[in-house]
Structure 1
């Protein structure tokens, strides 16, 4: 028998896992998806939380690499693009989660570690 999940709860938890990046810019965005991943039993919510964690990890890694590239002056435009990507993509993910709660959002241009 297939289990039915609450779509309102799914929307809120999925949007919160992606939208946590707007609450803080250091450690806190990673803590919210980890907590949601551990608490929720909904597979779509878990997939969104994993994707949000992967996005956070990738942003940190890209930031480190582009930060080192500022030494040779290539990193400045890359950091500007990363800044825009860091704020625009989670907003798109939140909108996607609210529109289509049955489908997990997949960020482009990231490595999936989890």
Structure 2
């Protein structure tokens, strides 16, 4: 039981922590690999939530990047940068407190 909980906590933390590496392609691969190879349903849910967050960050980063042409995008990109740092940290804290409960990122569209 303890081994399963430790593994679940590790896989969930790796999935959510990968968001902090958003500038690299590896950040998408980590939760995708966890989702594909893990047999633990809760660890898969954590990985799916992290992938959804990645997709949302990429989408909004693209939209806000286009909006930099009219200058409003810079403020949105700054806010998105803060969200990209703060939300994964909250997710990691949530995983360490209760790895059995899947953290749900606020303000995102769940595509997976």
TM-score > 0.5 by shorter chain: yes
Name which of 10, 21, 24 aligns with 1:12: 10
Equivalent-residue separation in structure 2 for 1:23 and 1:55 (angstroms): 13
SS of the residue 2:61 aligns to: helix
TM-score (norm 2): 0.94
Equivalent-residue separation in structure 2 for 1:97 and 1:9 (angstroms): 12
Structure 2 gap segments, 5+ residues each: none
Equivalent-residue separation in structure 2 for 1:18 and 1:90 (angstroms): 6
For the 8 Å contact 2:20–2:84, the answer to whether it is kept is: no
User: Alpha-carbon deviation of 1:73?
Assistant: 1.1
Cα RMSD (Å)? 1.7
Deviations 1:53-105 (A, max 9, x none): 00001000000000111111111110000000001111110110111011001
Equivalent-residue separation in structure 1 for 2:23 and 2:34 (angstroms): 18
Name which of 19, 30, 33 aligns with 1:32: 30
Would you identify which runs of 4 or more consecutive aligned residues in structure 1 move more than 3 Å?
Answer: none
Count of residues in correspondence between the two structures: 112
2:93 maps to which residue? Answer: 95
Cα distance change on mapping 1:23 and 1:66 into 2, 3 Å: closer
For the 8 Å contact 2:57–2:84, the answer to whether it is kept is: yes
Structure 1 gap segments, 5+ residues each: none
User: Alpha-carbon deviation of 1:26?
Assistant: 2.5
2:51 maps to which residue? Answer: 53
Equivalent-residue separation in structure 2 for 1:23 and 1:67 (angstroms): 19
